Chain A
Amino acid sequence: MTARELPFFARDLFEADKAVLLRLIKEIGTGADQRFILGEHTAAFERMLRESLDAADVVACGSGTSALTLVLHGMGVGAGDEVIVPAFGCAPLAATVLGVGATPVFADISRHTMVVDPARIEELIGPRTKAVLPAHLFSMMADMPAIADLAARHGLRLVEDSAVAQGAVLRGRPAGTWGEAGVFSFVQVKSFGMPGEGGVVVTANPALGDAVRMLRNHGQDGVHRFVHHRIGYNSRFDEIQAAFQQYRYALFPARLERRARIADYYTARFAELADAGVLPPPAGRDGRCYYVYCLLCERRDELKDWLAERGIGSHVYYPRPLPRQAAFVAHARQGARWPVAEHAAARILALPIYPHLTDAEVERIADAVCAFARSTASNALAEPEGVPS
Chain B
Amino acid sequence: MPAKTPAPVNETFAESAVRKVPFFTQSSAFAELWPSIRAGVEEIFENGKFSHGAQVARFEQRLAEYTGARYAVGVNSGTDALVLLLRACGLAPGEKVLVPAFSFVASASSVVLAGGLPRFTDIDPVTYAMDPESAAGAVTSATRFLMPVHLFSHQADLRALGELARRHELVVVEDSAEAIGMRQGGRHAGLHGAGGVLSFFPSKTLGAIGDAGAVLTDRPEIAERVAALRHHGRGGRTLDHFPGISNETDEPGMNSKMDDIQAAVLIAKLGRLESDIVRRAELASAYSERLRDIPGIIRMPVVTAPSDYRRDVFYVYLIEVENRDALASHLAESGVGTETYYPVPLPFQPCFADLGYRAGQFPNAEAACARALALPLYPDLELAQVDRVCDLVRSFYLGRAR
Number of interface residues of A (CB under 8 A): 69
Given contacts A95-B249, A315-B246, is CB(A234)–CB(B80) below 8 Å? yes
Q: A224: shortest Cβ distance to chain B, in Å? A: 8
Q: A295: shortest Cβ distance to chain B, in Å? A: 16
B125 in the interface, Cβ–Cβ < 8 Å? no
Q: Which of B27, B45, B351 contacts A15 (CB 8 A)?
A: B45
* List of B residues within 8 angstroms of A12 by Cβ: 48
By the criterion CB–CB under 8 Å, are A30 and B252 in contact?
A: no
* 5 closest Cβ pairs, A-B complex: A11-B48, A238-B210, A234-B79, A65-B255, A195-B50
**Which of the 9-residue segments A109-117, A322-330, A333-341 touches chain B?**
A322-330
Given contacts A95-B254, A229-B351, A240-B209, is CB(A197)–CB(B41) below 8 Å? no
Q: Assuming A22-B38, A195-B260, A225-B343, what are 7 further A-B pairs, CB within 8 angstroms?
A: A8-B243, A21-B41, A29-B27, A34-B202, A36-B208, A195-B259, A317-B246
Given contacts A29-B209, A315-B243, is CB(A228)–CB(B350) below 8 Å? yes
B24 in the interface, Cβ–Cβ < 8 Å? yes
* List of B residues within 8 angstroms of A319 by Cβ: 246, 248
Number of A-B contacts (CB under 8 A): 192
> Of all chain A residues, which has the CB nearest B32?
A30
Q: B97: shortest Cβ distance to chain A, in Å? A: 14
Q: Which of B41, B48, B232 contacts A25 (CB 8 A)?
A: B41
Q: A141: shortest Cβ distance to chain B, in Å? A: 21
By the criterion CB–CB under 8 Å, are A234 and B234 in contact?
A: no
By the criterion CB–CB under 8 Å, are B261 and A196 in contact?
A: yes
Please, how many angstroms separate the alpha-carbon atoms of A326 and B233 in the complex?
10
By the criterion CB–CB under 8 Å, are B50 and A95 in contact?
A: no
Q: Which of B243, B255, B259 contacts A66 (CB 8 A)?
A: B255
Tell me the A residues contacting B by CB distance below 8 Å.
8-15, 18, 21-22, 25-26, 28-32, 34, 36-37, 62-66, 69, 90-92, 94-95, 98-99, 187-189, 194-197, 218-219, 225-234, 236, 238-241, 315-320, 322, 325-328
Please, how many angstroms separate the alpha-carbon atoms of A101 and B77 in the complex?
22
* List of A residues within 8 angstroms of B256 by Cβ: 62
Please, how many angstroms separate the alpha-carbon atoms of A315 and B47 in the complex?
19
Find residues 321-346 in chain B having any chain A CB closer than 8 Å to their own CB: 340-344
Please, how many angstroms separate the alpha-carbon atoms of A28 and B26 in the complex?
11
Q: A339: shortest Cβ distance to chain B, in Å? A: 20
Find residues 4-62 in chain B having any chain A CB closer than 8 Å to their own CB: 22, 24-27, 30-31, 34, 37-38, 41, 44-45, 47-51
B349 in the interface, Cβ–Cβ < 8 Å? yes
Q: B354: shortest Cβ distance to chain A, in Å? A: 11
By the criterion CB–CB under 8 Å, are B252 and A328 in contact?
A: yes
Q: Which of B34, B208, B253, B257 contacts A26 (CB 8 A)?
A: B34
* List of B residues within 8 angstroms of A99 by Cβ: 252, 254
Q: List 19 A-B contacts (CB under 8 A).
A: A11-B48, A15-B45, A25-B37, A29-B30, A29-B37, A29-B209, A30-B34, A31-B27, A36-B208, A66-B255, A92-B232, A189-B242, A218-B105, A231-B351, A234-B80, A234-B211, A239-B210, A241-B259, A319-B246
> Of all chain B residues, which has the CB nearest A62?
B76
* List of B residues within 8 angstroms of A226 by Cβ: 104-105, 340-344
**Which of the 9-residue segments B63-71, B106-114, B288-296 touches chain A?**
B106-114
By the criterion CB–CB under 8 Å, are A238 and B259 in contact?
A: yes
Q: A16: shortest Cβ distance to chain B, in Å? A: 11
Please, how many angstroms separate the alpha-carbon atoms of A12 and B350 in the complex?
47
* List of B residues within 8 angstroms of A219 by Cβ: 105, 109, 351
> Of all chain B residues, which has the CB nearest A322?
B249
By the criterion CB–CB under 8 Å, are A95 and B253 in contact?
A: yes
* List of A residues within 8 angstroms of B169 by Cβ: none
Q: A152: shortest Cβ distance to chain B, in Å? A: 30
Please, how many angstroms separate the alpha-carbon atoms of A230 and B44 in the complex?
38
By the criterion CB–CB under 8 Å, are B45 and A14 in contact?
A: yes
Given contacts A29-B30, A187-B51, A218-B106, is CB(A37)–CB(B202) below 8 Å? yes
Q: Residues 148-165 of chain B: 1 if any A CB is under 8 Å from the residue's CB, otherwise 0?
A: 000000000000000000
Q: A325: shortest Cβ distance to chain B, in Å? A: 5
Please, how many angstroms separate the alpha-carbon atoms of A27 and B188 in the complex?
34
By the criterion CB–CB under 8 Å, are A197 and B248 in contact?
A: no
B282 in the interface, Cβ–Cβ < 8 Å? no
* List of A residues within 8 angstroms of B341 by Cβ: 226
By the criterion CB–CB under 8 Å, are A227 and B48 in contact?
A: no
Q: Which of B80, B209, B250 contacts A326 (CB 8 A)?
A: B250
By the criterion CB–CB under 8 Å, are B24 and A91 in contact?
A: no
Q: Which of A30, A37, A318 contacts B210 (CB 8 A)?
A: A37
> Of all chain A residues, which has the CB nearest B30?
A29
By the criterion CB–CB under 8 Å, are B76 and A234 in contact?
A: yes
* List of A residues within 8 angstroms of B351 by Cβ: 219, 228-232
Please, how many angstroms separate the alpha-carbon atoms of A232 and B80 in the complex?
11
B91 in the interface, Cβ–Cβ < 8 Å? no
Please, how many angstroms separate the alpha-carbon atoms of A319 and B249 in the complex?
11
By the criterion CB–CB under 8 Å, are B255 and A62 in contact?
A: yes
Q: Which of B47, B78, B233 contacts A327 (CB 8 A)?
A: B233
Please, how many angstroms separate the alpha-carbon atoms of A197 and B232 in the complex?
14
Please, how many angstroms separate the alpha-carbon atoms of A94 and B250 in the complex?
12
By the criterion CB–CB under 8 Å, are A227 and B344 in contact?
A: yes
